[in-house]
Amino acid sequence: MERVKIKVSGMVQGVGFRPFVYRLAHRYGLVGWVQNDAAGIQAEIEGRPENLTGFLADLKAQAPPQAVIMKLLAETVAPKDERGFYIKKSQTTDGRTALVLPDIATCPDCQQELGQAGDRRFRYPFTNCTNCGPRYSIIQDLPYDRAATTMSVFRMCPSCQAEYNDPRDRRFHAQPNACPVCGPAYQLLTASGQAVEGEAFAEARKRIAQGAILAVKGLGGYHLVCNAADQAAVAELRERKGRVDKPFAVMFGDLGTARLHCTVSDAEETLLSGAIRPIVLLAKNPQYGLAQAVAPGNPTLGAMLPYAPVHWILLEAGDAYVMTSGNVSDEPIAYEDQEAQGRLAGLVDYFLIHNRPIHSRVDDSVARIAHNKPFLLRRGRGVAPAPIQLAQAGPPVLACGGEVKNTFCLTKGTAAFMSAHIGDLENVAALASYTGQISHYQALFAIQPEFVAHDLHPDYLSTKYAQTLDLPLLAIQHHHAHIASVLAEHGLNEKVIGVAFDGTGYGTDGLLWGSEFMLADCQDFIRMAHSRYFALPGGMKAIQEPWRQAAWLLQELYGDGFAELPIPFCRQLPDNWPFILQAAAKGINSPLACGAGRLFDMAAAILGIRCRVHYEGQAAVELESAAAGATGWLLPYHITGGPVAELDFRPAFAALVQAVQRGENPAGLAAAFHMTLAAATVDMIRRIHHMTGIRKVAFSGGVFQNMTLLGLILERLDHPLTPLLNRQVPANDGGLALGQAAVARERSKQHVSCNTGQNHSP
């Protein structure tokens, strides 16, 4: 007989790991015990050496699907000649070092039960087991026990309790275990709160087929739902929600239906049907046949598959439902019943709701496949609050994030806990959610931050929030944080060439940066180059109305006579353009900006693709879409020297104007614009490489969600240059907090001697 002591760390709690060990030990005729501890799982196993070997091999190979084994240690100890195998009570000396799992999509076993007539959970919308179901969204406190979740109000019936107590059952210690006898239930209500007669799901389906809009309470919040093939219903939803043409996500009843409308690669299929089940951006295929209003002017569709029992019951194969966050325009997703029913009453015809409270709101995650790898574009359900592993331990910090697409980050040891997507802080509801979630995370993970990192922008609400905390503050430049987010993900802290392209971010000179080439590590950065500054006539208004930026540019190129240029853009200028440009010339509300996103705005306006936007990045999305399939060519640009080099794209824009005059088609011109920006970017990277010898190039910022641009850059980035990209956090401002945290931890080392938090530009 031999005995081994085993320690497993990683995501091994709340995933059915102990019953798995129990069953495995029985299979090999071994004795001993297993238990949860602060770091994960411990076990002692005793038996014949050949059985122990088999057991250890299977422990890794057959671990439960949601388990992530980060470390497995096994050491031989003295045999104790025990009888039988048992599960020991958890050691909860410090339950808070255990990880909180994200919500997990319904597993195949539970899915099977849902569809099995006669099963006691047939069509029961709260079916779950140790391998699947809600976690983070229902957890109020740790350790993760039913009493500390929103399931505490439901008392398990004897059948459920028996499953819960039986280590051989796949519901052993499944905290949200429930059935129709004892668990929560759905009901269908009219907008004014009257119960609808009949079976809730059948009635809901009928209403959706008739063109109704429903609010459906799910796992992490409410969705607004209607038939995606029904143009009138989708248009009505846009009208009520006040959302002009920003794309809606669609849930397909099954993969086959998704394939009818979109192309789905193997990697995309894996992502769509995995445990996270994010919204995946798919290319529409030529047979795409959903309502035009679902994703107008967009070559891609945000698609997802059912991930909770409610969806498996509500949708059938062949269905395609719009499934968008239940909110008014850009407010955070509604999740509290009273609040939601108040806020959404004017938007929907019916409510399909249930009586289990959602403790934490979690919006759907968004991801895409590029170069065969998944990239997260929004962290939410299925992902948060699983930590990102940092290369080194450091002091606990709170990084407050940015202003739009906000997330925050709390660190502890080597773990960085990124919050789920919160949204744009400028609205009151989002700000309230922000402060509430920060408190919840701090309590849940027992983190007392010693430093607070925030954006350099003095007016961001996240900055103002940081200033209310009585802690040492570290102000981090926006684009430095973008680059540091890449370094943190890759566990690097060395100087790299950082390329941060986005819309705007506050620079150390008070101007709006956003086409940044820098030498950066986690400590500091040196600005090496950027594109030329332009005025934003009317400030934020110029971002909503790209024609203002383009008019400023053309006036710079051609003088006041530009308005007579024989191109459609000039014929469509509003009458007040001279006043707007005059005000800008006097510097009235016209900040200087060099965001790469602004170059896309100007190109889209000049090519007549878009002069006014309804959502962030729309002009760039449509310009990229216009370029699809076209072959571009290189337009001229200049690089001017100086301590900080400048990329001047005015010659490229002049060439675009001439080409429009010649009547060349916008697709080729849009492609030429992408190619030119890519070539100039790589040109600049090479210059910096020649000056410094640095080979690693980190790309971040919202502009790199443009896969055409990124692809063209990566194609040209040859040996010895190596690209580094964001994958676990978004390249847009949703990933900013991770970079802020990385810089803050590095700077905190020097905090005693230098606590200004200022960057140094040459």
Binding site for Fe ion (CB under 5 A): 502, 505, 733
Closer to Zn ion by Cβ: residue 160 or 678? 160
Q: Indicate whether 179 belongs to the interface with Zn ion (CB under 5 A).
A: yes
Burial 49-76 (b: 16+ CB within 10 A, else e): eebbebbbeebeeebbebbebeebeeee
447 binds, among Zn ion, Fe ion, none (CB under 5 to 8 A by kind): none
Closer to Fe ion by Cβ: residue 424 or 502? 502
409 binds, among Zn ion, Fe ion, none (CB under 5 to 8 A by kind): none
181-200 residues in contact with Zn ion (CB under 5 A) are 181-182
Closer to Zn ion by Cβ: residue 134 or 666? 134
13 binds, among Fe ion, Zn ion, none (CB under 5 to 8 A by kind): none
Nearest residue to 593 via CA among 650, 537, 536, 647: 536
* 307, 312, 313, 315: CA torsion to nearest 10: 100
Looking only at the bridges linking them, the beta strands covering 645-648 and 525-531 are parallel
Total residues binding Zn ion (CB under 5 A) = 10
48-107 residues in contact with Zn ion (CB under 5 A) are 107
CB of 104 to Zn ion, least distance (A): 8
CB of 734 to Fe ion, least distance (A): 9
CB of 275 to Zn ion, least distance (A): 10
* 146, 151, 155, 161: CA torsion to nearest 10: -50
Residues 407, 433: Cα–Cα separation, whole Å: 11
Closer to Fe ion by Cβ: residue 44 or 502? 502
672 binds, among Zn ion, Fe ion, none (CB under 5 to 8 A by kind): none
CB of 631 to Fe ion, least distance (A): 31
110 binds, among Fe ion, Zn ion, none (CB under 5 to 8 A by kind): Zn ion
CB of 377 to Fe ion, least distance (A): 14
CB of 141 to Zn ion, least distance (A): 24
Site string for Zn ion, 157-176 (x = CB under 5 A): x--x----------------
For the chain, count helices (H), then strands (E): 23, 30
CB of 122 to Fe ion, least distance (A): 49
Q: Which residue is nearest to Fe ion (CB)?
A: 502
Instruction: Return the SS3 of 561.
Output: helix
594 binds, among Fe ion, Zn ion, none (CB under 5 to 8 A by kind): none
Tell me the backbone φ, ψ of residue 133, rounded to 5 degrees. Answer: 110, -175
Residues 604, 622: Cα–Cα separation, whole Å: 8
733 binds, among Fe ion, Zn ion, none (CB under 5 to 8 A by kind): Fe ion
524 binds, among Zn ion, Fe ion, none (CB under 5 to 8 A by kind): none
CB of 88 to Zn ion, least distance (A): 25
Residues 495, 520: Cα–Cα separation, whole Å: 5
Residues 632, 16: Cα–Cα separation, whole Å: 53
Closer to Fe ion by Cβ: residue 502 or 622? 502
Closer to Zn ion by Cβ: residue 173 or 696? 173
* 405, 411, 416, 422: CA torsion to nearest 10: -20
CB of 687 to Fe ion, least distance (A): 24
* Alpha carbon of residue 397 to chain centroid: 21
Closer to Zn ion by Cβ: residue 107 or 709? 107
100-119 residues in contact with Zn ion (CB under 5 A) are 107, 110
Burial 94-107 (b: 16+ CB within 10 A, else e): ebbbbbbbbbbbbb
Question: How many beta carbons lie within 10 A of that of residue 480, not counting itself?
Answer: 28
Residues 421, 381: Cα–Cα separation, whole Å: 9
Instruction: Return the SS3 of 237.
Output: helix
Which range touches Zn ion (CB under 5 A), out of 122-130, 260-268, 333-341, 555-563? 122-130
Residues 128, 111: Cα–Cα separation, whole Å: 9
Closer to Fe ion by Cβ: residue 349 or 733? 733
User: Which residues fall within 8 angstroms of residue 641, CB to CB, at 6 or more apart?
Assistant: none
Closer to Fe ion by Cβ: residue 363 or 502? 502
Question: How many beta carbons lie within 10 A of that of residue 692, not counting itself?
Answer: 14
439-478 residues in contact with Zn ion (CB under 5 A) are none
Tokens 């014949």 belong to 48
Q: Indicate whether 267 belongs to the interface with Zn ion (CB under 5 A).
A: no
- Please, where are the H alpha helices in 545-649? 546-558, 568-571, 577-585, 596-606, 618-627
Closer to Fe ion by Cβ: residue 449 or 505? 505
502 binds, among Zn ion, Fe ion, none (CB under 5 to 8 A by kind): Fe ion
157 binds, among Zn ion, Fe ion, none (CB under 5 to 8 A by kind): Zn ion
DSSP letter at 664? -
Closer to Zn ion by Cβ: residue 181 or 588? 181
236 binds, among Zn ion, Fe ion, none (CB under 5 to 8 A by kind): none
Closer to Fe ion by Cβ: residue 293 or 596? 596
Nearest residue to 436 via CA among 358, 330, 341: 358
Tokens 């010693």 belong to 450
Site string for Zn ion, 406-445 (x = CB under 5 A): ----------------------------------------
453 binds, among Fe ion, Zn ion, none (CB under 5 to 8 A by kind): none
Instruction: Return the SS3 of 363.
Output: coil
CB of 478 to Fe ion, least distance (A): 6
Closer to Fe ion by Cβ: residue 137 or 515? 515
Binding test (CB under 5 A) with Zn ion, winner from 8, 34, 101, 132: 132
46 binds, among Fe ion, Zn ion, none (CB under 5 to 8 A by kind): none
Q: Indicate whether 219 belongs to the interface with Zn ion (CB under 5 A).
A: no
438 binds, among Zn ion, Fe ion, none (CB under 5 to 8 A by kind): none
Closer to Zn ion by Cβ: residue 99 or 160? 160
Residues 415, 225: Cα–Cα separation, whole Å: 36
CB of 482 to Fe ion, least distance (A): 6
CB of 64 to Zn ion, least distance (A): 10
Closer to Zn ion by Cβ: residue 112 or 435? 112
| Backbone CA torsion sign across 460, 464, 469, 474 | positive
Closer to Zn ion by Cβ: residue 126 or 375? 126
139-158 residues in contact with Zn ion (CB under 5 A) are 157
Residues 428, 755: Cα–Cα separation, whole Å: 32
129 binds, among Fe ion, Zn ion, none (CB under 5 to 8 A by kind): Zn ion
Residues 665, 247: Cα–Cα separation, whole Å: 26
What is the residue-wise DSSP string for 171-207?
TTT-TT---TTTS--EEEEETTSPBPSS-HHHHHHHH
Nearest residue to 433 via CA among 512, 334, 511: 334
709 binds, among Zn ion, Fe ion, none (CB under 5 to 8 A by kind): none
Nearest residue to 421 via CA among 323, 333, 541: 333
- The residue ranges that bind Zn ion (CB under 5 A) are 107, 110, 129, 131-132, 157, 160, 179, 181-182
